[in-house]
Amino acid sequence: MSQAPTASHTLDGSPCGHILAASAVSGGRAARLAAFALLPAFALLPAFAVAIVAMAETPPAEPMYLGPSALAVSNDETTLYVACTDAGQVAWVGLPEGVVARRVDVPGEPTGLALAPGGNRLLVACAAPESKLLVLDAGTGERLAAIPAGHTAMSPVVSEDGRWAYLCNRFSNDVSVIDLEAGRETARLPAVREPVAAALAMDGQTLLVANHLPLARLDPEYTGHVAAAVTAIDTRTHDTTTIPLAHGAHSARGLHVLPGGRLALVTHLVGNFEETPFRVDMGWINVNVVSVVDVPRGTVTRTIGLDERMLGAANPWGVASTPDGALVCVALAGSGELSLIDAPDLLGEFARLSMQPLMRAWPTYVSLGESLWRRHALPGAGPRGLAVAGSKGYVAQYFTDSVAVFALPERAEEAGGSEAAAPVRSIALGPAPVLTPQRWGEMLFNDATLCYQHWQSCASCHPDARMDALNWDLMNDGIGNFKNTKSLLLAHQTPPSMAEGVRATAEAAVRAGFVHILFSEPPEEKTAAIDAYLKALQPVPSPHLVGGRLSPAARRGRELFHSEAVACHVCHPAPLYTDSKKYDVGSRNSQDRTDEFVTPTLIEVWRTAPYLHDGRYPTMHELLDEGKHGLSGGRREMLTDRQIDDLVEFVLSL
Ligand code: HEC
Ligand code: HEC
């Protein structure tokens, strides 16, 4: 299995790359490879050439990465549709051969797929600031319709009669209702925050939507429930209700309704954010779970841990069941595994009594007995979307541009433990990807096998390199003073790091993160790759922009922001909207040891609520109006309410 391909050279001829595990590297790609060293941690992944390319090389003209993240299988199981998110393509793969028969370019990044009943039409969520729901002929790939939707569309769902489609607009925080007959959007229904996955339940009467992040204040004075939620939408009346997940729930990724339509499964993490993270084992910091939602009752009935006592099952993503509902599968993005459980076990007493996390108590995880999950290593890296058809499971492998195909046993127990795992095979969607340092860094950032006992990855608190919307009491600035997780966008460009500036640079913060939160010390080349990934992050255009430009209100707000009377720009100067200095802006709370905090960048601040170092304001309006941030000394009172709204609109547009 692991054989090094022929080495080639970087531009300056020096060896500086790695091959993680290799067999087939195509000639053209091989020519771009740097030199290689086999890394045993990945030797488990057979038939994958993942090489690192030197940064100085000219980027290839063809899409560098396919980035498969979502899948659908035709009813007759002869075609696998793969959303290749990073390439802006949908691939048609013939089954069972596993040969790519067609690639269809789509506008934006395809993030989700759904086959309309009958199987003739393929719906593709094409994410962009102005997303589209694309309707393609499932046979030929011909474009039948392109229907405008909101910002960063995900997870399309079709009604059983094929008339209606629903689409999550992740950054518009709402759900599009689309009349497929009329070919247009007819309604927008509010979700809570970053809706990312949806499915129909109750014979199509209820649309369930998983919200990725919590939206709550987090300062020491607040003791309420903090959790991501599921939004339940009545498809006839469009009434919505909110079903909160367990306290500490964040980073929801997958949602699946079990056959029968009354129970839904949601994959997410639960952060033990009220404790000091001085250890990571036993799920002390984050646990990885599947929540069971009782749809008619509108409640979460149980939150079942995926982790084992001494081995985390990090970053659960896609979730699906076999058509008879007997077996449940979960893709573990951080652990690079597939986890299987018999549905009666998941819903049974043993799991309820022994596999639920016990947050706010010692120990944090019960896991009294043996886990009922059976885990399997997967070929490739970066399992995300998951589809089940017949007796096979398909897992999109984001970082290796491949799909892992898995024969599902009738019962999870029959599949044995991970030792006995035998994934059927892997389908290559294109040439084996050559990883740039940035891409390798992205892979490592999402890789929980770098953590002691694999409990979490950097992405566990920084999903998509942003934040989990929780507070944590990292020990770098003393104990008992909780801080809101920071987005890592522009972290390297805006030193010092951390709210109190206790790390001189983001480079130092990255290395400290490994030692103190993942309890491991990877080699410098890995942390350097993570630096490269984080430095290359690009801001997502704000959903408050109109056609990519500031709205009239935001333009008025921009004037105020830079005016002498308001003068936000003194500390928050363009282009990054920070001067990197520390100030006392009156934000000290009862737990803090200091009055001064580093001025944060305001780029993408629309996405990073709650605000201030302790997350005390869940909305920008509260920060500026109630909190009078930057507007002390009677200056708030000099502004009209509309001027405050304008200022809010400008800041949220950055
Ligand atoms: C337990 C949750 C958690 C995990 C896991 C975690 N972080 Fe963080 N990270 C935080 C919090 C909270 C902050 C903000 C702390 C502060 O402001 O004092 C932060 C801040 C940072 C910053 C500074 C950003 C800035 O602009 O100031 C960097 C860089 C960073 N983390 C990198 C990482 C890396 C790399 C990993 C993986 C090795 C990681 N983090 C894992 C919670 C976490
Ligand atoms: C004296 C310098 C200073 C001025 C003037 C100032 N800020 Fe700030 N700003 C800061 C500091 C320091 C923080 C971080 C405080 C904390 O975390 O407790 C901050 C935080 C923020 C945040 C929260 C960002 C986040 O990620 O939590 C926003 C938004 C913001 N400022 C907007 C503004 C606006 C709008 C104005 C003008 C009305 C303004 N600031 C004026 C220094 C300043």
Q: Report which ligand 2 atom has the smallest distance to the Cα of 647.
A: 35
DSSP 254: E
The pLDDT score that the predictor gives to residue 362 is: 63
β 109-115/121-127 pair status: antiparallel
pLDDT at 35 over 50: no
What are the distances in angstroms from CA 140 to CA 102, 122, 143? 9, 10, 9
DSSP assignment string, 468-517: -S-EE--TBTBSS--EEPPP-TTTTTSPSBSTT--BSSHHHHHHHHIIII
Mean pLDDT of 413-430: 69
Give the pair of three-digit tokens for residue 343: 């549905």
The pLDDT score that the predictor gives to residue 72 is: 97
Residues ≥6 apart with Cβ < 8 Å to 578:
494, 571, 572, 598, 599, 600, 601, 602
d(CA 163, CA 296): 24
Is 287 near ligand 1, meaning CB less than 6 Å away?
no
Lowest-confidence range among 24-33, 228-237, 624-633?
24-33
CATH classification code of 64-188? 2.130.10.10
Mean pLDDT of 605-613: 97
**For a pLDDT cut of 70, what percent of the chain falls above it?**
87
Ligand 2 centroid – CA 46 distance (Å): 50
The pLDDT tens digits for 351-385 are: 988 888 876 666 567 665 678 999 999 999 999 99
The pLDDT tens digits for 496-516 are: 999 999 999 999 999 999 989
Lowest-confidence range among 237-251, 341-355, 566-580?
341-355
Q: How many CB atoms lie within 10 A of CB 162?
A: 14
Is 488 near ligand 1, meaning CB less than 6 Å away?
yes
3-state secondary structure 142-201: CEEEEEECCCCEEEEEECCCCCEEEEEECCCCEEEEEECCCCEEEEEEECCCCEEEEEEE
CATH classification code of 552-651? 1.10.760.10
The pLDDT tens digits for 151-178 are: 999 999 999 999 999 999 999 999 999 9
Ligand 2 centroid – CA 604 distance (Å): 14
More confident of the two residues 420 and 243: 243
Ligand 2 centroid – CA 470 distance (Å): 19
The pLDDT score that the predictor gives to residue 363 is: 59
What are the distances in angstroms from CA 599 to CA 134, 156, 573, 612? 42, 39, 10, 10
Cis peptide before 496 (omega within 30 of 0): yes
E strands present in 323-424: 327-332, 337-342, 374-377, 383-389, 392-397, 402-407
Q: Which of 110, 69, 80, 89 is nearest to 317 (CA)?
A: 69
CB 396 within 8 A of CB 68: yes
Amino acid residing at 253: R
Residues ≥6 apart with Cβ < 8 Å to 37:
18, 19
| CA angle (547 as vertex; 546, 549 as ends), nearest 5 | 65
- Report the CATH fold assignment for 439-535: Cytochrome Bc1 Complex; Chain D, domain 2 (1.10.760)
What are the distances in angstroms from CA 131 to CA 58, 64, 74, 151, 323? 30, 22, 25, 6, 31
Is 39 near ligand 2, meaning CB less than 6 Å away?
no
The pLDDT score that the predictor gives to residue 13 is: 27
d(CA 318, CA 326): 17
Average pLDDT, the chain: 88
> Whose structure tokens read 């051969």?
97
Ligand 2 centroid – CA 457 distance (Å): 30
Domain ranges in the chain? 64-188, 439-535, 552-651
β 316-321/327-332 pair status: antiparallel
Position 476 confidence tier, pLDDT thresholds 50, 70, 90: confident
Sign of CA dihedral 211, 186, 106, 124: positive
Ligand 1 centroid – CA 472 distance (Å): 9
DSSP 56: T
Question: In angstroms, what is the C-alpha Rg of the chain?
Answer: 24
**For a pLDDT cut of 90, what percent of the chain falls above it?**
78
Mean pLDDT of 190-209: 97
β 99-105/483-484 pair status: unpaired
Do the domains 552-651 and 439-535 match in fold? yes
pLDDT at 9 over 50: no
Q: How many CB atoms lie within 10 A of CB 641?
A: 9
The pLDDT score that the predictor gives to residue 170 is: 98
End-to-end Cα separation, the chain, in angstroms: 49
Q: How many CB atoms lie within 10 A of CB 579?
A: 15
Minimal-distance CA residue to ligand 2 atom 2: 571
DSSP 440: H
More confident of the two residues 634 and 38: 634
Is 451 near ligand 1, meaning CB less than 6 Å away?
no
Is 201 near ligand 1, meaning CB less than 6 Å away?
no
From the CA of 280, which ligand is nearest? 1
What are the distances in angstroms from CA 482 to CA 474, 479, 486, 583? 7, 8, 12, 19
* Candidate of 475, 497, 520 to mutate for ligand 1, largest count of ligand atoms within 8 Å of Cβ: 497
The pLDDT score that the predictor gives to residue 54 is: 45
Q: Which of 412, 386, 411 is nearest to 397 (CA)?
A: 386
Q: Which of 305, 214, 204, 322 is nearest to 261 (CA)?
A: 204
* Candidate of 471, 564, 571 to mutate for ligand 2, largest count of ligand atoms within 8 Å of Cβ: 571
The helix-helix angle for 641-651 and 552-561 (nearest 10°) equals 100
Give the pair of three-digit tokens for residue 535: 């430095």
Q: Where are the alpha helices (DSSP H) in 536-590?
A: 552-561
